[in-house]
Amino acid sequence: MSSYQYSVKMSNKLLLLQTIKKDHPISRAALAQKLGLTKATVSTLVDELIDGNYCYQTGLGQSSGGRRPLMLQFNEKAGFTVSIDIGVNYLLGILTDLQGTVVNEVLHSFNTNNLEGTIDEMQEMIDYLVRKGDETPYGLVGIGFAIPGLVNSKGDILATPNLDWHEPQIKKIFEDIYQVPVNIENEANAGAYGEKSFGSAKHVDHAIYVSAGIGIGVGLILNNQLYRGAHGFTGEMGHMIIERHGASCRCGSKGCWELYASEMALLDRYKELSKNTETASLEDLIQLANHDDTIRHLFEEVGTQLGVGINNIINTFNPEKVIIGNRLSKAKDLLLPSIVDVVSNQTISFMESSVDIQFTSLHPYSSALGMSAFSIDGFLNRQFL
């Protein structure tokens, strides 16, 4: 077999497996028809995929006139992934199978500003999750980290405006420890990819994911693909200036969107208004808003400012969906009316009428699941390409 023939064969095997993964249960005949391959080619390659533990035969499907066909199922238990979503004040680790189902998880409130302590904590979380994984043919196929900062296309962490990290070598550290591929991505990009792979953006080609936590990040799904830009830095729209002479931001600019529309903005406004010196959490304020009009108004202010930025995003990218995730999604009932009010009154009318604004259904897993999807995609690609 020539190198070209081998390359075509492996590409077809990957295409078959991806289709089985997406459309299972599915028959060999349906695969041949869907992909334009001969039945003989499909049968041979599927047998090889079964031998490799990538898929398996399950029960009989519906007959279209002849014998009932044997159906094929993707083997999501062939391996597992571990991913960690790094927030400013938390670490969320998940163990998933190869279909992105969360099998186990760990959530710790944690001050991640201390890089060395964060690395130690993450290693403990990974060790725990790996121990919880079942025996599988391929074991741990990848580790992913969603980072609140600038990450280039090589996985280098270049800046963390809300964390005091300096030249963190997370990728090298964890690849050396676990000897598996490590993916690192900006948490908003990861969230967008999680929504595209498993959530509300699964069936749309143009979606915007707004990660509203301590800061704000944006992930872009354009033309059915995660858009990263020339070097991987797209989506830093939390630093879009909405108040030219506004407050100073840690990024070095003034009047950035996240200063007015983030979890930190909400907590800072509460401190300004409250005579109570005790520190309140987002969860505390959500509870207080049920019977305190002043607190409810704070959420309305933040919702309005979220709407201002989302209005700009809609006018710029003309998405089908805007999905709001991260910590502030806990307060969706308090925030959504103000967001919708701004968008309905300020967005160009024919754009506003065609966009669906919603909070994530994957909370709190969007970014972590996005990293799992990167690990799964990378594993499958390495097997055949």
| CA distances, 259 to each of 67, 131, 229 (Å) | 64, 41, 25
pLDDT tens across 131-190, in order? Answer: 998 899 999 999 999 999 999 988 999 989 889 998 899 999 999 999 999 999 999 999
DSSP assignments along 227-250, one per residue = E-TTTS-TT-GGG-BSSTT--B-T
Q: Which CATH class is domain 3-74?
A: mainly alpha
pLDDT score of 283 more than 70:
yes
Note the pLDDT of residue 203. Answer: 93
Question: Which residue is listed with tokens 């006139």?
Answer: 65
CATH fold for domain 78-192+366-384: Nucleotidyltransferase; domain 5 (3.30.420)
pTM for the whole structure: 0.93
pLDDT score of 117 more than 60:
yes
Q: Which residue blocks in 183-234 are alpha helix, DSSP H? A: 187-198
Length of the chain: 385
Note the pLDDT of residue 119. Answer: 97
Note the pLDDT of residue 105. Answer: 97
pLDDT score of 224 more than 60:
yes
Note the pLDDT of residue 233. Answer: 84
Helix (H) or strand (E) holding 33: helix 28-35
Strands (DSSP E) found in the chain: 26-27, 55-60, 70-74, 80-86, 90-97, 102-109, 140-147, 150-151, 157-159, 182-186, 207-212, 216-222, 225-227, 321-325, 356-359
Note the pLDDT of residue 251. Answer: 84
pLDDT score of 79 more than 90:
yes
Three-class DSSP category at 160: coil
Note the pLDDT of residue 318. Answer: 93
Note the pLDDT of residue 250. Answer: 84
The torsion angles phi and psi of 211, rounded to 5 degrees, stand at -90, 105
Helix (H) or strand (E) holding 265: helix 263-273
Q: How far apart are CA 241 and CA 283, in angstroms?
A: 28
Comparing CA positions, the residue from 24, 3, 78, 37 lying closest to residue 45 is 37
CATH code 3.30.420.40 region(s) in the chain: 78-192+366-384, 200-359
pLDDT tens across 13-69, in order? Answer: 999 999 999 999 999 999 999 999 999 999 999 999 999 999 999 866 565 555 667
DSSP assignments along 124-142, one per residue = HHHHHHHHHSPP-SS-EEE
Q: What percent of the chain has pLDDT over 90?
A: 83
Average pLDDT in the chain: 93
Note the pLDDT of residue 231. Answer: 84
Note the pLDDT of residue 64. Answer: 58
pLDDT mean over 259-283: 88
CATH code 1.10.10.10 region(s) in the chain: 3-74
Note the pLDDT of residue 118. Answer: 97
What CATH superfamily is the domain 200-359?
Answer: ATPase, nucleotide binding domain (3.30.420.40)
